[in-house]
Amino acid sequence: MSPFHESRRTYGLPGIAVREHVFTVPLDHHDPTGRTTEVFARELVDPARSDHPLPWLLFLQGGPGGKSPRPLRSADGWVRRALETHRVLLLDQRGTGRSTPLTARTASGFGSARELADHLALFRADSIVADAELIRRRLCGDQPWETLGQSYGGFITLTYLSFAPEGLRACHIAGGLPDPTGTADDVYGLTYHRVREKTQAFYERYPQDVDVVRRIAALLREEDVRLPDGDRFGVGRLRALGLVLGMGDGPQRLHWLLDEAFGPDGGLSDSFRYQVAASTGFVENPLFAVLQEAAYGQRSHATAWSASRVLRRFPEFAPDADPLLFTGEMFYPWMFREIGALRPFADAVDLLAERSDWPVLYDPERLRANKVPVAAVVYHDDMYVPVELSLKTAAALGSAKVWITNEWEHDGISASGDRVLSRLLDMTTGLG
């Protein structure tokens, strides 16, 4: 099936010429004549080079369930560097952003949990790669393009290299080298250690916050505290604030959030409760929670609520521990009962956790024989993608160059300005 393509708008931002694209693609690529869905993408190019035959760089956002970045200013950081040599495509992966949305509202419209679960299973990396290949052929013809995969975008990249390497000229990965043969249990068995270390480092930097968190937790155990959207605010939701601790400015953001936790009456301030609701409510990106463990499902292995099961190996994460340890990129059954934006997905996510007939996402043999140049930065202290698994993958990935650094956290591609992307580009062109 050839995707229907429409260029909706062409306009300018300071230093960037923008064209918006909408593509109609099969919902299920194994049934190309069946139902369809729309995928949105935003093309960026230097206005002075807009008529030049530049190579394309497809940006694969982290997640799962993350929409592409929205340029806010004149081209800077990694975008500025990319536009020096490339035409950039910011893809809203299926279900996100301006692609056909999959939200709490749309999830509520499904007739059954099984129907919704089967639908959600079509939003993993294999479907995203199939979408990308249809789009590439529409925009580039027979010419391959390059990719930049941030975090989960690196997972998608390895799926791309496994099943459609002919579409790729070079790949750049920032903090996203998964273990193609690993399980969700393998990941959480390592990331709980890293979250504990990040929490301890946070308390060492801000020792006053130990008592603040202690006081908040005590209040939440004693009272039925509600967030502005009506959700219950329990200790689990408090611990979930630790999701930010793996980003470069995450500890500072968490500290300043806690700094204004209490109002003059001794209760939790309106501002604090509002920010907790916004940062842990997943209203904008429910698929981040919904597909987190499903992203690891392959063959006959059911994920079976991996984060919840593996947590039992770590008694120091008990909800009554003192000091209280935060959690990270982990999702638990209670979240889909207590968080409003996730509640419509609850029964379907239970079915996804039980599923044991997942299609494969990676071809280890093909990855070993890979000929497409790959440059990857691995962050030594990464809280989300364990360095141990990334290095294992790097050693078994053909034509790969790997740069290991502790200069940045997981958000190095943006936090470094243009430094990370510049080095990755140099690595694939033989200069680095």
pLDDT band at 369 (very low <50, low <70, confident <90, very high): very high
Asked if residue 77 and residue 28 are part of one domain, the reply reads yes
- Locate 135 and state its tokens: 């789009």
- 136 and 171 in a common domain: yes
Q: What is the pLDDT of residues 132-162, one digit of tens each?
A: 999 999 999 999 999 999 999 999 999 999 9
372 close to 170: Cβ distance less than 8 angstroms: yes
Last-in-domain residue among 338, 354, 370: 354
The domain containing residue 289 runs over which residues? Answer: 184-354
DSSP symbols for 26-65: ESSTTSTTS-EEEEEEEEEE-GGGTTS-PPEEEEE-STTT
Do 265 and 317 share a domain, yes or no? yes
Whether 40 and 175 map to the same domain: the answer is yes
**The pairing of beta strand 36-45 with beta strand 87-92:** antiparallel
Average pLDDT, the chain: 96
The pair of structure tokens assigned to 398 is: 């053909």
Evaluate if residue 246 carries a pLDDT over 80. yes
Residues 133 and 176 grouped into a single domain = yes
pTM of the model: 0.97
Q: What is the DSSP letter of 100?
A: S
The residues assigned a catalytic role are 151, 357, 410
Same domain for 378 and 350: no
Domain count, the chain: 2
Residues 293 and 163 grouped into a single domain: no
| Pair 168, 48 in one domain | yes
Residues 322 and 198 in one domain: yes
Supply the DSSP string of 59-82, one letter for each residue.
EE-STTTPPPP---SSS-HHHHHH
Which band of pLDDT confidence, cut at 50, 70 and 90, is reported for residue 300?
confident
Q: What is the pLDDT of residue 347?
A: 98
Q: Is 178 left (phi over 0), alpha (psi -120 to 50) or beta?
A: beta
The Cα 314–Cα 163 span in angstroms is 37
Final residue of a domain: which of 307, 325, 354? 354
pLDDT at residue number 430? 83
Which class for 68: exposed (0-12), middle (13-18), buried (19 or more C-beta within 10 A)?
Answer: buried
Residues 103 and 229 in one domain: no
Return the sign of the alpha-carbon dihedral for residues 311, 273, 72, 423.
Answer: negative
**282-293 tens-digit pLDDT:** 999 999 999 999
**Mean local confidence (pLDDT), 232-236:** 98
Whether pLDDT at 252 is above 80: yes
Same domain membership, residue 109 and residue 257: no
pLDDT at 35: 96
End residue of a domain, out of 354, 389, 407: 354
What residue has token string 């300005």? 417
